[in-house]
């Protein structure tokens, strides 16, 4: 851990480099290894995402160590600025991410339409075969660079959320958010039958008005119909219970990190109550804390959460909204009472990703 205090000869970027070196990143063999740096490029309109300058520190160090880094994220399930690779890259560039600003290229992990995925067997309690963006799984080394914040569905958006949900293809995200079956918004459907042409299982059905419905008995949840619908009429129902969602996130994280060198960095700055997927960001709920790094993403999330909960709530933030109760000291739960962020960490520890116990070494 390092705080955010600087000196004339040591700015935040130098501190980040010093931190990740002290945490042992040099112990990884990067020589000629493709290295995925997973981060969130920010939904256009949101200003809480991590600046590309931070990504450049990580990418430059990977190159110094002989690696071949690239920044990556997977397409979103919801309709927005990052639902396909072209929009996603445009959004990243709008937010300042380019080879010049980051020192490496950007690859969208699950391809043009969010359907380029690798099936990873994990035999979890809830997920038997995770659907992960192929570029993510093709990398030899995996690094997560996380903006630590609140989250309206998971409660907390830390390293596990960045990895598990973020590396899922569109079908993988749908599997985590619900039972894996889409539905059609009838008012938007124009009856073009693009969904029927892409579906290998005959799930789209058409009524007398020509509009589509999805036969959930035939649907396998591949999400390809979501990708091809020209009117965004086919969508996912976000109906999974928060506890189950968090456990699925943990199991998807295991699919990503198992079997290869991994390293994790989290910046606890601009701790917004909601995800960077929003096209806006609210006032941070606590003051900026600092930067953390670890080989263990579970310990990292636990340390970051502890650091946030040790802060004094920020005035004029969502924690002071009418009806928000911070008396328990759990600001994430106070901001989103239906969530329980600890479930994700508990399940991640149970399935062997890491441990919630940690020792905080200050740099």
What pLDDT score was predicted for residue 59? 98
Q: How far apart are the first and last CA of the chain?
A: 6
Helix (H, G, I), strand (E, B) or coil at 347: helix
Q: Is residue 227's pLDDT more than 90?
A: no
Percent of the chain with pLDDT over 90: 93
Q: Is residue 286's pLDDT more than 90?
A: yes
Determine how many CB atoms are found less than 10 A away from the CB of residue 214: 18
What pLDDT score was predicted for residue 96? 98
What pLDDT score was predicted for residue 56? 98
Computed on alpha carbons and rounded to an integer, the radius of gyration of the chain in Å comes to: 20
Percent of the chain with pLDDT over 70: 100
Q: Is residue 179's pLDDT more than 80?
A: no
326-337 pLDDT tens trace: 999 999 999 999
Given pLDDT bands bounded at 50, 70 and 90, which one contains residue 30?
very high
34-64 pLDDT tens trace: 999 999 999 999 999 999 999 999 999 999 9
125-138 pLDDT tens trace: 999 999 999 999 99
Cα-based torsion angle of the residue sequence 75, 296, 48, 156 in order, rounded to the nearest 10 degrees: 80
DSSP H helices, the chain, are: 12-22, 52-64, 85-94, 99-102, 134-138, 159-164, 170-177, 194-198, 224-228, 242-257, 297-309, 331-335, 342-350
What pLDDT score was predicted for residue 139? 98
């Amino acid at each position: 851990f390092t705080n955010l205090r600087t000196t004339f000869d040591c700015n935040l970027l130098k501190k980040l480099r010093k931190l990740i070196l002290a945490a042992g990143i040099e112990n990884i063999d990067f020589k000629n290894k493709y290295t995925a740096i997973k981060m969130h490029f920010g939904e256009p309109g949101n200003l809480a995402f991590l600046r590309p300058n931070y990504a450049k520190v990580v990418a430059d160090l990977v190159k110094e160590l002989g690696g071949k880094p690239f920044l990556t994220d997977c397409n979103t399930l919801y309709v927005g600025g990052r639902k396909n690779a072209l929009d996603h890259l445009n959004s990243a560039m709008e937010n300042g991410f380019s080879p010049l600003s980051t020192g490496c290229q950007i690859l969208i992990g699950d391809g043009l339409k969010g359907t380029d995925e690798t099936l990873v067997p994990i035999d979890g309690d809830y997920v038997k075969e995770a659907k992960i963006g192929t570029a993510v799984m093709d990398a030899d080394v995996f690094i997560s660079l996380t903006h630590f914040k609140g989250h309206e569905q998971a409660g907390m958006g830390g390293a596990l959320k960045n990895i598990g949900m973020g590396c899922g293809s569109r079908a993988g995200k749908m599997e985590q958010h619900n039972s894996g079956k889409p539905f059609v918004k009838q008012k938007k459907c124009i009856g073009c039958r693009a969904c029927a042409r892409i579906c290998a299982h005959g799930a789209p059905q058409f009524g007398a008005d020509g509009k589509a419905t999805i036969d959930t008995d035939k649907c396998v949840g591949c999400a390809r119909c979501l990708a091809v619908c020209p009117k965004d009429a086919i969508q996912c129902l976000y109906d999974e219970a928060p506890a189950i969602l968090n456990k699925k996130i943990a199991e998807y994280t295991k699919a990503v990190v198992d079997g290869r060198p991994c390293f994790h960095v989290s910046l606890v700055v601009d701790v917004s109550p909601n995800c960077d997927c929003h096209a806006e960001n609210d006032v941070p709920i606590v003051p900026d804390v600092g930067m953390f790094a670890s080989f263990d993403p579970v310990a990292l999330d636990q340390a970051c959460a502890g650091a946030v909960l040790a802060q004094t709530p920020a005035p004029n933030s969502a924690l002071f909204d009418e009806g928000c109760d911070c008396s328990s000291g759990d600001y994430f739960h106070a901001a989103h009472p239906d969530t329980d962020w600890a479930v994700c960490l508990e399940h991640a520890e149970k399935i062997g990703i890491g441990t919630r116990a940690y020792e905080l070494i200050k740099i």
